[in-house]
Chain A
Amino acid sequence: MNEKRIVVGMAGNPNVGKSAIFNALTGSRQHVGNWPGKTIERAEGVFYHGDWEIHLVDLPGTYSLAAQSPEEIIARDYILSGEPDVVVNVVDATSLERNLNLTLQILELTDQVVVALNLMDEVKRQGWEIDVGALEAALGVPVVPTVATEGEGLPQLAAALREMAEGRRQLHPASVDYGLTVEGHVQRLEADLASLGIDGRRRWVALRLLEDDPEIVEAFKGGNLSDCCLREDAPSVSSEALQAVLRRAARLREATRPDARVEIVRRRYEFAHDVVHRVARRLRPVEESLTERVDRIVTHRLWSWPIMLAILVAVLWVTIQGANVPSSWLEGAFGWLAQVTRDFLLEINAPWWVVGSLVDGLIVGTGTVIAVMLPPMVIFFTAFNLLEDIGFIPRVAFNLDRLMRAVGSQGKHTLVAMMSFGCNVTGVLTCRIIENAKDRIVAIVTSPLILCNGRFGAGLALIILFFGNRALPVTLVYLAVSVGAMLLATWVLNQLLFRQEPGGFVMELPPYRKPKWGQVIWRTLVYQVGHTMGRAVMIAAPATLLIWLLGNLPPGAPFERTAIGWLVRTLAPLGRPFGLTGEMLTALLFTLPAKEIVVPSLAMTYGLQTTLVDSEAILDYLAQTWTPLVAFSFLTFFMLYLPCLVTVWATWKETRSLKWTLMSLVVPLVTASGITFAVYQGGRLLGVS
C-alpha cells in the first residue's frame, strides 16, 4: 500500500471541461462504472506526480449541491463522505459568477479545495482579463488557470494537488455572510444541534434545515444522521429531539421574509458577484458572439425547421452510404475466418455438427451481426457526438420542447429519439440526460418505437425490392409512422400513468465550441460502440448458435421436420389476422438479437438455406411469393414490433424495474399489432392485394 496516495474528487458545472481535464490527467488509466445503485456514470482514474499516486474520481456535473437531482445528491454525498482528500472544482472562467455558486457551496463542506479555472483561452478571446491572484485571495484556496483542451496548466494543477496533500498550503476558505436574519436563524439552529452533541458541519446542516433540504430533513425524520453523511461518528439522538429541531427550523423558515431558500441563494450570488467584480476586468467592449449569430438562424422561426431536417437527413444518409463499404469488408473478413476455421476443423476430422455449429452457426452468424451493426454505429455516433460537442444538440431540444410538451414530455426527449434512430440501445442510455424521473421513464419505454438504423437498413432493402420507384414515399411513411407511434405512446403513457406529475424544462444553452475530436472519438468508440457491441455480441453469439441448431436438427432431416419447420407451423395461426405467415413470425423471433439479420433469417425460415448469410436467392423468392400488401404488412410489423434483446437489457439496467422493462416490450408489441392489423385488414377491405 502506497503511503503517498490521495483521493481527489472532481466537481463542476456541466460543460466546463471537467472530462477533458480528467482524460488529460489520467490518460488510459481509467475505469468507468456506475455509482452504487444509480445509473449515473462514475469514472475513476489514476496518475502520478513525483512519488504521489493521485486517484481521481469524476463527479457528475452539477450547478449546485442542493440535492434536487440524483447527480447533485451523488456529488454532495461523496464530498460529505470524507473519502476525497481534496476536491478539484473545475470552473468555467467565462461564466465565473454562475460557477462560483457551486464553488462557494463546496467551500462550505470542505476547505481542501483546488479551483481549476478552465477555458482561460475563451476568456481572453471574449476580451476579459481575470486576476488569478485576486481570485485566490478572495476564495482562500489555490486557483490554477487552465486550458484543458491544450493541456495548459495541468502540471500546475497536479502540483497544487500535491502541495495540498503535503499540507503545504495555507487555506482561508471564503465564507458567505447570509445576512442578519438568516445568520440569526442559523445561530439558533446551530445551538440546538450543539446541545444534541452533533459537532462538525453544524453551520452547513443548519443552513440546509432552513432551506428545507429534502435529504437532510429525511435523515432527521428517520433519526439516522449518518444517512445524511454527518460523518460516521454521528451520535445517536432521540427522534423526538430531532423532530423538535425540524419543527424549529420550519418555524424559523416560515417567519423569514423573503423566503429563506431564495435569500440564501441570493446572498451567495451577491458574494460571487462581488468577487467577480473585483477580479475580472473587461478589456474590450462586448462584441456580438459567433454563438449569437449562429443561433439567430438555427433557432429561427422558419429556418430552424429545414436546418434540423437537413442535418438529420444528412447524418442518416452518411451513415447508410458510408457503412456499405466497411460492412462488406467485415463480411469478407468473417467469410475468410469461417473458411480458415472450416479447413482447420476438417483437417483434424472434427464431427460435422462441430464444424456446422462453430463455423456456420457461431462465426458466420455473429460475423453477420457485427458486419451489419458496427460500421453504421461508428459513423452515426461519431456524427451525433460531434453535433453535441459543438453545441448544436441543445438547440434542437430548445426548438422542439414545445412540440414534445404537447404529448406531455420535453425537449430533451427529442435527443433520445434522434439517438434511437442510430440505435435504440444508445437511445435508452441517452435517457440519462433527462433529469426528471417521469420524463426519463417515458423516454426509455417509448424509444424502441423509433426505427433504429438496423431496422431501417434491412427494411430499406425490402422496400426497394417491393416498391421500386415508389420506395422514397414508402420510406417516408415508415419514418412518419415510427415517429407518430412514439409520440402517441408518450402521450398515452403520460395520460394514463403520470397525470399528476409536473414536467418541466430548465436547460443551459452552451456557446458553440470547436469540436474536441479526441474526446468525441473516445466517447464514441469506448463508451457507446464498445459497450453496445460487446453486449450485442454476447447476446448474438449464443442466439446465432441456437438458430443454426434449430435449422439443422435433427441431422439430415428435411426442412419440414427441423425445429424451424415446427416453429413455422406452430406460429402460423397467430399471424393470420395481421397477414403474417409462420415463416415471417419465426424470422422475427430470430431477429431479436439483432434486427439487421432479418433477410438471412427469412432465408432460413423459408427453408432456402441453413446458415445466416445474405443471399440473393431469398430476395428473388420473396419478390415472387409476397404480394405488396403482405410485404407492407410485414414491414410495418417489423419496424415496430419488439426491441432487440440488447435494448431490453439496457432498459433493465437503466430502470432496474421489471414493470418498466415489461412495459418496454408491451408498448411496441401492442402498437405494432394494432397498426399492422389496421393496415392489412384495411388493405383487404379496399381490395388491395
Chain B
Amino acid sequence: MSARLTEAGEARARELIRAHRLWERYLVDRKGMPLEAVHAEAHRREHETTPEELERLDAELGHPAWDPHGHAIPAPGGRVPSPPGRSLLEEGTPGSRLRIVCLDDETAALLAQLVALGLKPGADVEVLEQKPNLLRLHLDGNIVPLAAAAARHVSVVPAPALPVPLGELPAGSQARVVEAYGGGKHQRRMLDMGFVPGAEVTVIREAPLGDPIEYRIKGTAVALRRKDADTVLVEELRDE
C-alpha cells in the first residue's frame, strides 16, 4: 500500500523541506553550529516560520542553493530535487576518485562521525580498498577507514579530473582554467588575453609541426607555445 498526499499536502511538505534546509544553512553559516547538531534545531524552527519570515531568511542568506549537507534547497513552490549523486557504498570501487555531494542528515551521531573524519560535502576522496563491511579511503593525504553502513549515507559523484597543464590536452578538448601564473611577461600577456581562472578554453589545433597550439578563449583564437600553455592548469570539461 502506498500513501499519497493531496496536492495541498504536497505543497505544504515542499515548504517545510525548504524551511528546514534554509534554517540548517542559517545555523551553520550564521550561528556557527556544528553540522551534526543542526538537524534537530532546524526541525524545531521549521514549523514556527511564516512564509514571509522564510523569504526574508532566504534573502539574508543570499538565496543559497544547497543546505550544509549538500541537499538542494527547493525554490518557493518548486519541486524538491532528488538528492544528487549515488551512494558511496555502490560507487566505491577501488581506484575510483569521487566527490562527496551530500550527507544523509537523519542520524546526528553518524553525521558527527562523518564530519569528524573530514567527509564533508565538497571533499574529494579516492577509494583504496573495498571489503564487505569496510571501505578505506584516501582523503587529503590521510587514510580513512569507513564502515559500509556509514558509507551508505554518503552520496558521491565522480570527482572532476585533477588539474592538468593546458598544453597536454589534445585538439578538440574543452577545459576550464583553474590556476594561472602571474609572473613572467608571457604569462601576463596570457592573462590579458583571457586565460584567467574560471575561463573556458577550447583546444582548436596544433600547428603543422606540433607546436604552437591554437586555443579559443573568450571568443577569440590565440596561439600559444606548449611551454607557455603548460603554465596554465585546467580541468577538462566533458560533454554533457
Residues of chain A having any CB pair with chain B under 8 Å: 63-64, 66, 68, 94-98, 101, 211, 258-262, 265-266, 269-270, 291, 295-296, 299-302, 304-305, 397-399, 401-403, 405, 411, 502, 504-511
In the complex, what residues of A have CB within 8 A of residue B211's CB?
401-402, 405
A259 touches B182 (CB 8 A): yes
Q: Pick the contact of A398: B189, B197, B207 (CB < 8 A).
A: B207
Residues of chain B having any CB pair with chain A under 8 Å: 179-186, 188-194, 196-199, 204-205, 207-212, 214, 217-225, 228
A269 touches B222 (CB 8 A): no
Q: Pick the contact of B224: A98, A101, A259, A505 (CB < 8 A).
A: A505
B192 touches A63 (CB 8 A): yes
B118 → chain A closest CB, angstroms? 21
In the complex, what residues of A have CB within 8 A of residue B207's CB?
299, 398-399, 401-402
B186 → chain A closest CB, angstroms? 4
In the complex, what residues of B have CB within 8 A of residue A507's CB?
222-223
Query: Are A505 and B185 also in contact (CB < 8 A) when A98-B220, A262-B197, A269-B196 are?
Result: no
Query: Are A94 and B212 also in contact (CB < 8 A) when A66-B192, A398-B207, A506-B186 are?
Result: no
B6 → chain A closest CB, angstroms? 41
In the complex, what residues of B have CB within 8 A of residue A266's CB?
180, 196-198
Query: Are A300 and B188 also in contact (CB < 8 A) when A95-B219, A505-B228, A506-B193 are?
Result: no
The chain A residue with its CB closest to the CB of B199 is: A269
Q: Can you list 12 A-B pairs with a CB-CB distance of less than 8 A?
A: A98-B220, A101-B192, A261-B182, A261-B191, A265-B191, A398-B207, A399-B209, A401-B223, A505-B228, A506-B190, A508-B221, A508-B222
The chain B residue with its CB closest to the CB of A65 is: B192
In the complex, what residues of A have CB within 8 A of residue B208's CB?
299-302, 304-305, 399
A95 touches B218 (CB 8 A): yes
B92 → chain A closest CB, angstroms? 33
A63 touches B193 (CB 8 A): yes
A262 touches B181 (CB 8 A): yes
In the complex, what residues of A have CB within 8 A of residue B199's CB?
269
B225 touches A261 (CB 8 A): no
B219 touches A94 (CB 8 A): yes
A398 touches B218 (CB 8 A): no
A682 → chain B closest CB, angstroms? 33
In the complex, what residues of B have CB within 8 A of residue A296's CB?
205
A262 touches B209 (CB 8 A): no
Bound-complex Cα distance A524 to B183 (A): 39
In the complex, what residues of B have CB within 8 A of residue A504's CB?
185-186, 225, 228
In the complex, what residues of B have CB within 8 A of residue A66's CB?
188, 192
The chain A residue with its CB closest to the CB of B197 is: A266
B218 touches A509 (CB 8 A): no
A309 → chain B closest CB, angstroms? 12
Bound-complex Cα distance A511 to B194 (A): 17
In the complex, what residues of B have CB within 8 A of residue A299's CB?
205, 207-208, 214
In the complex, what residues of B have CB within 8 A of residue A295's CB?
204-205, 214
B193 touches A98 (CB 8 A): yes
In the complex, what residues of B have CB within 8 A of residue A302's CB?
208
In the complex, what residues of A have CB within 8 A of residue B209's CB?
399, 402-403
The chain B residue with its CB closest to the CB of A101 is: B192
In the complex, what residues of B have CB within 8 A of residue A260's CB?
182
Bound-complex Cα distance A505 to B193 (A): 13
**Majority DSSP secondary structure for residues of A touching B:** helix
The chain B residue with its CB closest to the CB of A94 is: B219
Bound-complex Cα distance A685 to B192 (A): 60
Bound-complex Cα distance A305 to B189 (A): 30
A405 touches B225 (CB 8 A): yes
A644 → chain B closest CB, angstroms? 33
In the complex, what residues of B have CB within 8 A of residue A399's CB?
207-209
In the complex, what residues of A have CB within 8 A of residue B205's CB?
295-296, 299
Query: Are A63 and B189 also in contact (CB < 8 A) when A258-B179, A269-B199 are?
Result: yes
The chain B residue with its CB closest to the CB of A509 is: B221
A506 touches B222 (CB 8 A): yes
In the complex, what residues of B have CB within 8 A of residue A505's CB?
212, 223-225, 228
B196 touches A265 (CB 8 A): yes
Query: Are A270 and B198 also in contact (CB < 8 A) when A98-B220, A299-B214, A399-B207 are?
Result: yes
B214 touches A402 (CB 8 A): no
B226 → chain A closest CB, angstroms? 10
B75 → chain A closest CB, angstroms? 21
The chain A residue with its CB closest to the CB of B179 is: A258
Query: Are A401 and B222 also in contact (CB < 8 A) when A259-B182, A261-B188, A262-B196 are?
Result: no
Q: Pick the contact of A259: B181, B212, B223, B228 (CB < 8 A).
A: B181
Query: Are A98 and B218 also in contact (CB < 8 A) when A269-B196, A398-B207, A505-B223 are?
Result: yes
Query: Are A506 and B210 also in contact (CB < 8 A) when A97-B194, A262-B191 are?
Result: no
In the complex, what residues of B have CB within 8 A of residue A258's CB?
179, 197
Most chain-A Cβ atoms within 10 A of its Cβ — which of B193, B207, B228?
A: B207
Query: Are A411 and B197 also in contact (CB < 8 A) when A101-B192, A508-B222 are?
Result: no
A568 → chain B closest CB, angstroms? 49
In the complex, what residues of B have CB within 8 A of residue A300's CB?
208
Most chain-B Cβ atoms within 10 A of its Cβ — which of A262, A304, A401, A510?
A: A262
Bound-complex Cα distance A261 to B182 (A): 6
Q: Pick the contact of A411: B182, B204, B212 (CB < 8 A).
A: B212
In the complex, what residues of A have CB within 8 A of residue B189's CB?
63-64, 68, 506
In the complex, what residues of A have CB within 8 A of residue B218's CB?
95, 97-98, 269
A76 → chain B closest CB, angstroms? 13
In the complex, what residues of B have CB within 8 A of residue A398's CB?
207, 212, 214, 223
B185 touches A68 (CB 8 A): yes
Q: Pick the contact of A401: B188, B197, B212 (CB < 8 A).
A: B212
In the complex, what residues of A have CB within 8 A of residue B191's CB?
261-262, 265
The chain B residue with its CB closest to the CB of A508 is: B222
In the complex, what residues of A have CB within 8 A of residue B224's CB?
505-506
Bound-complex Cα distance A101 to B180 (A): 17
Given A269-B198, A509-B223: 19 more A-B contacts, CB < 8 Å = A68-B185, A68-B188, A98-B220, A259-B182, A265-B192, A266-B180, A266-B197, A269-B196, A269-B218, A295-B205, A302-B208, A398-B214, A401-B207, A401-B225, A402-B207, A402-B211, A506-B190, A508-B222, A511-B221
Bound-complex Cα distance A511 to B225 (A): 20
Bound-complex Cα distance A558 to B89 (A): 109
In the complex, what residues of B have CB within 8 A of residue A401's CB?
207, 211-212, 223, 225
B222 → chain A closest CB, angstroms? 5
A392 → chain B closest CB, angstroms? 14
B22 → chain A closest CB, angstroms? 24
B62 → chain A closest CB, angstroms? 15
In the complex, what residues of A have CB within 8 A of residue B210's CB?
402
B182 touches A262 (CB 8 A): yes
In the complex, what residues of A have CB within 8 A of residue B225's CB?
401, 405, 504-505
In the complex, what residues of B have CB within 8 A of residue A68's CB?
185, 188-189, 192
In the complex, what residues of B have CB within 8 A of residue A259's CB?
180-182
The chain B residue with its CB closest to the CB of A406 is: B209
A407 → chain B closest CB, angstroms? 13
In the complex, what residues of A have CB within 8 A of residue B188's CB?
66, 68, 261
A637 → chain B closest CB, angstroms? 33
Bound-complex Cα distance A551 to B60 (A): 96
A597 → chain B closest CB, angstroms? 40
B204 → chain A closest CB, angstroms? 8
In the complex, what residues of A have CB within 8 A of residue B190's CB?
506
B228 → chain A closest CB, angstroms? 6
In the complex, what residues of B have CB within 8 A of residue A506's CB?
186, 189-190, 193, 222-224, 228
B229 → chain A closest CB, angstroms? 10
